[in-house]
Structure 1
Amino acid sequence: MTYNIFLVDSPDPGVMAQALAAILQVPVKEIDVADADGDPDERHWEALVSCEYSYVQGNLSYSAEIYAQDSVPHQPPEAQLSAALAERIGTPVLYPPTEAPESAHWLVTPEGLTTRARLDESEDEDPSYTVTAVEAFVRQLPDVPVRHLPEVVREQKVVTPLTDAFAECVASLPEAERSEISPDAAEATRVVTSYLGAWEKLSRRAENGWEPSGWFPLEFYRETLGYRDDIEGYLRQLPGKLQALYRNYLDKVDDLYRELTVEDNDHVVANDKGVPVTHLAQKPWWWYRRPEPMPWSE
């Protein structure tokens, strides 16, 4: 298994070797910790675990690629190894998320705090790596702003059982019926399935209290309402039977949205330009409802 991490402070190679030996449960002599720019003749290439590190510019000091051979019996997930390493060597460790984007790394501190961190890489020939924002205060990075990271919210996985059920119904249509769907109608079906998924995700987030982040940007909220607007146009391109099937699932998601929102009497959602309420153009009903409390409020 390969682990790719960054460290705020750079440890002594011997300290790193002892920490990895304890975490991966192998003898210290089976740990090869080496500078990527060092002499290859001094490497222990047969070691069970190799840790090749580089010193980096920015507010991080050290990047490392750790490789454990298949014969190493204890190979914890990246999150677990990073937390154990941070505690043992006394500095925060950053590791990449399983989802995109790569910029929003996980960060774990020696005290056990786990948060998300925006990691920017410069485009220089010798790039620097800088943590430019974190979602919780990190004592070892006192000058880094603490703020929500919208890119984390966008990439979170949300279950959509109603959308999945509709997609399964489409996939299970008899071959004769599927062959009658024109290319344009097939593309419209793909689009409305995607938009239904986005619409359902919004309601499922509200249903689950906007976890795991606990917030949701108003910009993303309005974006999703725009997808709900667009559904109506695409829906007219579907064959009658498919249109009725889709409408059945859409109605269920609409009902869920109504149940989880309240009347937006102040037009917080619809009034994205800050114009007087009397000047607002009429929008569909979903623009005049909002969650309570509003997940974009601090």
Structure 2
Amino acid sequence: MTYNVFTIAPLRPSVLLAALATCIGVHPGDVDVADAEGSQDDRNWGAAVLCDFTETLGDVSLSLDIYVQESAPNRLSEKELAAELAVAAQTVVLYPAEESIPSAYWLVTPDRTVTRARLLSSDDARPVYSIDAVESKVACLPEVPATPLDEIVREYPTPVPLTERFVTAVDAPEHSSADSVSTPLTREVGTPFYRARTALAEWERMVRRMGSGWQPTGHCSADMYRAGLRARNDIAQLINDLPAPTGELLRELAEQIDGDFTKLTEQDDGQALVEATGPLTGAHENAWWWQRKPSALPW
């Protein structure tokens, strides 16, 4: 099995070798550790554990590519390997999260605290890495801010069946001409139909995320919540901008989502959002949905 992790501490090869032997449950002589950019002539390619390390710049010191033979006694998941390595080497370890986001990582500390982290890399020939944020405060990294990682929430697949119903109804009358295929109304960028589709999807997705407990992280920033409310503003305007039958359908679907939103929130006159993001501005931000907060604040 192959593992790709980062360590914050600049571990010496001997320390890394001993830590890996402990994690995998093999004799230190059955672990081969080498600089990926150095000579490969003296490698023990038959070792149960092969580890290539590369020195990195910034908030992480080493990038490790670890390969464990099937014959090794401890067949660990990447999560398990990272946790065991953090304890054995007494360093913070980062490993890639499941989402297809380059900056999405999990971080584990020597005391086995685990949280999500945003790891950024520069575009330099030799990248400089920075731990931009963590989802929960990490005692040994006091300078790293703790904040909801909205990109993780956005990436998580959230069904929007009411939006799909809207799209199906609006695009149903469209037909292909003899020589070309007409663009569905809800796909014509800039049109009220397109804006209605995107606003309804944003509103429905936000409310469904709230209903799921903000899967997969359990968190959502106040700014992301505010964006959902702005989408509801757009819906209110577009109901009047669309042809009557379509506008009425948009109103009907939005009100179904509103019902779930009401159940999941409570009246607070917008105070929680004001405290998190600043004063509400604009006529639409006096609408009733701005006066409610999630029953359990996710930020």
Give the TM-score normalised by the residue count of structure 1: 0.73
- 2:289 is aligned with 1:286: yes
- 2:156 is aligned with 1:157: yes
The offset of 1:102, in angstroms, is 2.9
Partner of 1:222: 226
Q: Where does 1:238-277 land on structure 2 (aligned, <5 Å)?
A: 249-266=253-270, 269=273, 274=279
The offset of 1:225, in angstroms, is 1.9
Which stretch shifts more, 230-239 or 93-102?
Answer: 230-239
Q: What stretches of structure 1 of length at least 5 have no aligned partner?
A: none
- 2:37 is aligned with 1:37: yes
The offset of 1:207, in angstroms, is 3.1
- 2:146 is aligned with 1:147: yes
Q: Where does 1:186-225 land on structure 2 (aligned, <5 Å)?
A: 186-187=186-187, 195-210=199-214, 213-225=217-229
**In structure 2, C-alpha distance between the alignment counterparts of 1:190 and 1:27, rounded to whole Å:** 63
Structure-2 change in CA distance of 1:226 and 1:124 (3 Å): same
Residue 34 of structure 1 aligns with an amino acid whose one-letter code is: A
**In structure 1, C-alpha distance between the alignment counterparts of 2:238 and 2:68, rounded to whole Å:** 51
Contact 1:17-1:31 within 8 A present in 2 as well:
yes
Partner of 2:110: 110
Structure-2 change in CA distance of 1:202 and 1:145 (3 Å): same
Residue 185 of structure 1 aligns with an amino acid whose one-letter code is: L
**In structure 1, C-alpha distance between the alignment counterparts of 2:83 and 2:148, rounded to whole Å:** 21
After superposition, the CA RMSD in angstroms is 4.1
Partner of 1:76: 76
Contact 1:185-1:237 within 8 A present in 2 as well:
no
**In structure 1, C-alpha distance between the alignment counterparts of 2:161 and 2:284, rounded to whole Å:** 32
The offset of 1:54, in angstroms, is 1.6
**In structure 1, C-alpha distance between the alignment counterparts of 2:21 and 2:278, rounded to whole Å:** 58
SS at match of 1:52: strand
Structure-2 change in CA distance of 1:178 and 1:85 (3 Å): farther
**In structure 1, C-alpha distance between the alignment counterparts of 2:278 and 2:155, rounded to whole Å:** 28
Q: Percent identity?
A: 34
SS at match of 1:203: helix
SS at match of 1:118: strand
Contact 1:100-1:155 within 8 A present in 2 as well:
no
**In structure 2, C-alpha distance between the alignment counterparts of 1:155 and 1:233, rounded to whole Å:** 25
**In structure 1, C-alpha distance between the alignment counterparts of 2:32 and 2:228, rounded to whole Å:** 50
Q: What stretches of structure 2 of length at least 5 have no aligned partner?
A: none
The offset of 1:148, in angstroms, is 1.0
Residue 202 of structure 1 aligns with an amino acid whose one-letter code is: M
**In structure 1, C-alpha distance between the alignment counterparts of 2:222 and 2:34, rounded to whole Å:** 47
**In structure 2, C-alpha distance between the alignment counterparts of 1:73 and 1:177, rounded to whole Å:** 63
Partner of 2:53: 53
Structure-2 change in CA distance of 1:105 and 1:120 (3 Å): same
Contact 2:52-2:66 within 8 A present in 1 as well:
yes
Residue 274 of structure 1 aligns with an amino acid whose one-letter code is: P
The offset of 1:213, in angstroms, is 4.7
**In structure 2, C-alpha distance between the alignment counterparts of 1:224 and 1:7, rounded to whole Å:** 37
**In structure 2, C-alpha distance between the alignment counterparts of 1:264 and 1:68, rounded to whole Å:** 55
Structure-2 change in CA distance of 1:237 and 1:51 (3 Å): farther
Partner of 2:92: 92
**In structure 2, C-alpha distance between the alignment counterparts of 1:266 and 1:227, rounded to whole Å:** 16
The offset of 1:107, in angstroms, is 1.0
SS at match of 1:39: coil
Residue 230 of structure 1 aligns with an amino acid whose one-letter code is: D
Q: Residues 94-140 of structure 1, C-alpha deviation per residue, up to 9 Å, x if partnerless?
A: 11222254334211011110123333434444333333443444444
Number of equivalent positions: 287
